Structure formats: C-alpha cells, structure tokens
Structure 1
Amino acid sequence: MLFMKGAPQEPRCGFSRQIVAILKEHDIQFASFDILSDEEVRQGLKTYSNWPTYPQLYVNGELIGGLDIVKELAESGELASTCPKAVSLEHRLKTIINQSPVMLFMKGNKEGAKCGFSRQILEILNEVAIDYDTFDILQDEEVRQGLKTYSNWPTYPQLYVKGELIGGLDIVKELKENGELKSVLQGES
C-alpha cells in the first residue's frame, strides 16, 4: 500500500511521482491512498509509522519506508523480493478461466443475468444440468476488455470448457440443437 499525494495516474508531488515510476518499472503490484483526501489519515499515519514525510510504502502491513529507501531497494535488487509482483492480465485471465471445468463469462451471475443473451445461455446450461461457474464481467472492466482480446471473441457471454473457448450464445444454441452440448460441456468433444 502506497500512501502518497495524489493517485498513481496523477501524482501531486515529485516524490510521489518518482516512487510510482519505480514501482511500475519493477512491475510491483500496489494499491494507493491519497493522503491529501483525508487530513486525519495524513496526520495520524505520521504518528503511527513514526515517519514524518510522504510517500510511505507498506508491505504486508509493515512500513518499508519512503522514496529514498525504495530507491535503495531498487538499486540493490531487493525491491522485487520485498514487494509482490503484479500479476499479468493474461495470467489472471487463465486463472479465472480455469477456476472451474465449465466457466461462463457473462453480464450478471447465475442468480441474475443482466442481459438477454446471458439469461438465455443460463437457461440452456441449467437445462443440461451440469456444474458450471460464472464470472460477472460488469464487475471487472480489465477482465471484460482483456478477455475479448485474449479469446479473440468480441462479445459476451463467452463459455469455456477445461480452459478452451467454446463460444457464445449462438454456438451453444447450435450445440444444443445438434444434441452435442452435454458431451462438449463434459469435455468429451
């Protein structure tokens, strides 16, 4: 967690800008808090950390330090072992796709589809009576946009079986009409 002035996309001081640049350059995964947005946190954190200046970088709840310490860690090569690396979008997508043998990326979830196509595909999958999980693309814009590129499939819903893209609603309807859907969902075809 980086306590800084401003946000990573718009730092409000040179020190914050430099520390963000170092963290990004080293693919460090981090969240941030704009101390200019909350005077109580700004003053309280100085006391809590016994560190009078900003930015302040914390890893697993422990203060690492400010810009000078982060620079030293980067120069010595210790920054990577001190801070968690950012997970690539491709790795994240593969993890989500493979969290269940049958995975449906849709608008909404099993309990409530948020578009007609998603509603229709849920009805078809529920008829087949096979276990599947869903991922609501409306909750994560990075996944929503990234999966379109990753799968080379521009629309939703998208159905995956054992990590492989089957297709969208039209393909699922076609498989159902041809009597092939259950075997495809079981990974037999």
Structure 2
Amino acid sequence: MAAAMVVAGTAKQFQEVLEKAKRSLVVVHFWAPWAPQCLQMNEVMTELSKEYPHVIFVKLEAESVPEVSEKYEISSVPTFLFFKNCQKVDRVDGAHAPDLTKKVQQHGETAKQDLNDQLRKLLNSAPCLLFMKGTPQEPRCGFSRKIVEILNERNIRFCTFDILSDEDVRQGLKVYSNWPTYPQLYMNGELVGGFDIVKELAETGELEKTCHTEMGLEHRLKALINKSRVIVFMKGNRGLAKCGFSRTIVGILNEAGVEYETFDILEDEEVRQGLKTFSNWPTYPQLYVNGELIGGLDIVKVT
C-alpha cells in the first residue's frame, strides 16, 4: 500500500481530509519552507508514513493557511497535531523526532485495532460480500462492472460495499487482507480474490461452487464469534439472563464498563452444541474477545 501522505493547501482541503479519514489517525505537520528543521521533519514524516500506512500524514504550510493555524494556536514551526474523528487528541511542538515517532506508534496502534475490529465485523456481515467502486447499479470502474456482470450472470446472491464511500475501509482492507487492488470478493469472511481470480473461477465452473456453498456450521460459528470485538454466548441475553452463571458474567462486564454483545444459546441448539466442540469448552457462558475464547465465568472472575 502506498504511503498515506497528503498536502492540504486550504482550510477546506484540511477539513475534507479530517472528515474523510473518519476512524483513522491523522497527523498534521504545520511547517514552513524557510525553516530547515521543518524540512528535516518532513523526511521523518515520509519514513513514518511507510511504517504506518494506516495513518494519514498531512503537510500544511502554516503561514499559507492562517485561519487553521490560528484556530489550533500554532505559534511556531514545526508543530504536529494528532486528530481522530475530527478531534485533536495530541500535539508535539518542535523538531523532536523521537517524541513524534513515539506518539505516532501509540495512537496509530489504537487506531489500527479499532479499524481491524470494524473490518472484521464488516467481512462477516454477509455470506458473499463484494468490495467495489460504486454500486451494482452504477459501477464506477471497469473491473467492478465486469465482476458484477459475472456474479449476476451466474445468479450468485451477493452484497456490496462501496469503497469510495469510506477511505478508512478502502485503505485498511488492503493491509488487512494483503490485497492491494479492488474489487475484492469475500465468502464467509474469507477473501476469494480480485477480478482476475473471480474470472478464472467462473471460466472453470468453480465460482458457483465457491459462492453457492451454504455457510457450514464452522463458518457460521467463526462469523458469530467475530461479530463483535467482545461477545458472550450465554443463556438469555444481557437484559434477561436465564441462569446464575450468565447473570454473574453480565454483571462483571457491566461493572467493568466493557462494550459487548450477547448470543442466546437457548434459541439456537445448533450453535449451543456446535460451539462446545468448536472451542473445546463444554459449558456456558463463554466469553470471546477478537474471535478468541477467553473462557467461562471462573476464568473471567480472575481476570
């Protein structure tokens, strides 16, 4: 993935960068071309952008956009501001490369984890999911148009996500799946491939088999445990637990202020029995974080 480095020449461009980035971390260098230390820090920014491709690095000439500089109280250059969700979250004043690197690492890892959680949910939101430019009705590139035609010709049911509508997803999915181009087709949360692979599968007759296969129990369980960053499989739900152990684990999570979802195993016998074998854990409740089993009530109590 190419380094995420942009230049904002006006206040409008600067605001557009913040709004388009959404969940990504944005690092803005307020600089001046006459200051040699700024030129040195631009080189540091370039190297950081290679190491942290999910972070958006912005160069903004402080004296050319005075309204932005005044708003954020920029009194000297170089100054670096950190933004997330359009809000300033941190600042580095001066040409301090170690401080800048440390804060990019700290904030960047948090932003990366948040984005990966979102992508994991998104990939498991539909059995067959196509990430494309535009929509099936109005594709906005030739490859997206052709892959939609292939899927429609074979009566394959699929959902789509317009990557032009979300720059975070557009850039983040390239890194997450290690696939640099679009469109991208996923089945049960797993990458099938881009246009060339889908075309080859269609020509060999394998595409229908790949995309029409019903979601097996294992795929379904994987999708469920990755539905939320934190999920509890329990008897009942967080509003009405139907056994003492489930009630206790909900109380622990609520007291800790953890954001989580629940799945009522009493309403789905296939999941209730299958998850015991899948995770090699015979009882409920079961707590999962980032798709990994943490354990039951006894383990949650001590952690």
Q: What runs of 5+ residues in structure 2 fail to find an aligned partner?
A: 1-26, 220-303
Q: Secondary structure at the match of 2:150?
A: helix
Match of 2:201 among 158, 171, 183: 171
Q: Distance in 2 between matches of 1:101 and 1:111?
A: 20
Q: Which residue of 2 aligns with 1:133?
A: 160
Q: How does 1:9-158 map to 2 (within 5 A)?
A: 13-18=36-41, 21=44, 24=48, 27=52, 29-35=55-61, 39=64, 41=65, 43-59=66-82, 60-62=87-89, 64-68=91-95, 70-71=96-97, 73=99, 80-81=105-106, 83-85=107-109, 87=112, 95=120, 97-98=123-124, 100-113=126-139, 114-115=141-142, 117-124=146-153, 127-128=155-156, 130-136=157-163, 150=178, 157-158=183-184
In the TM superposition, residue 56 of structure 1 has moved relative to its aligned partner by 2.1
AA of the residue aligned to 1:187: M
**For structure 1, which segment, 13-22 or 161-170, has the greater mean C-alpha deviation from structure 2 after superposition?**
13-22
Normalised to the residue count of structure 1, the TM-score between the two structures is 0.56
Q: Deviations over 1:56-103 (max 9, x none)?
A: 2222325613224x546359x56644x333749xx69x6465554322
Q: Secondary structure at the match of 2:77?
A: coil
Q: Secondary structure at the match of 1:18?
A: helix
Q: CA RMSD in A?
A: 4.9
In the TM superposition, residue 112 of structure 1 has moved relative to its aligned partner by 1.8
| Count of residue correspondences | 171
Q: Secondary structure at the match of 2:55?
A: coil
In the TM superposition, residue 168 of structure 1 has moved relative to its aligned partner by 0.3
CA contact (8 A) 1:103 1:134 kept: yes
In the TM superposition, residue 55 of structure 1 has moved relative to its aligned partner by 2.5
Q: Secondary structure at the match of 1:168?
A: helix
CA contact (8 A) 1:109 1:136 kept: no
AA of the residue aligned to 1:84: G
Q: Secondary structure at the match of 1:57?
A: strand
In the TM superposition, residue 45 of structure 1 has moved relative to its aligned partner by 4.0
Q: What runs of 5+ residues in structure 1 fail to find an aligned partner?
A: none
Query: For the structure 1 residues 168 and 144, does the alpha-carbon distance in structure 2 shift closer, same or farther, using more than 3 Å as the test?
Result: farther
Q: Distance in 1 between matches of 2:80 and 2:123?
A: 33
Identity over aligned residues, as a percent?
13
Query: For the structure 1 residues 55 and 163, does the alpha-carbon distance in structure 2 shift closer, same or farther, using more than 3 Å as the test?
Result: same
Q: Distance in 2 between matches of 1:79 and 1:107?
A: 30
**For structure 1, which segment, 116-125 or 25-34, has the greater mean C-alpha deviation from structure 2 after superposition?**
25-34
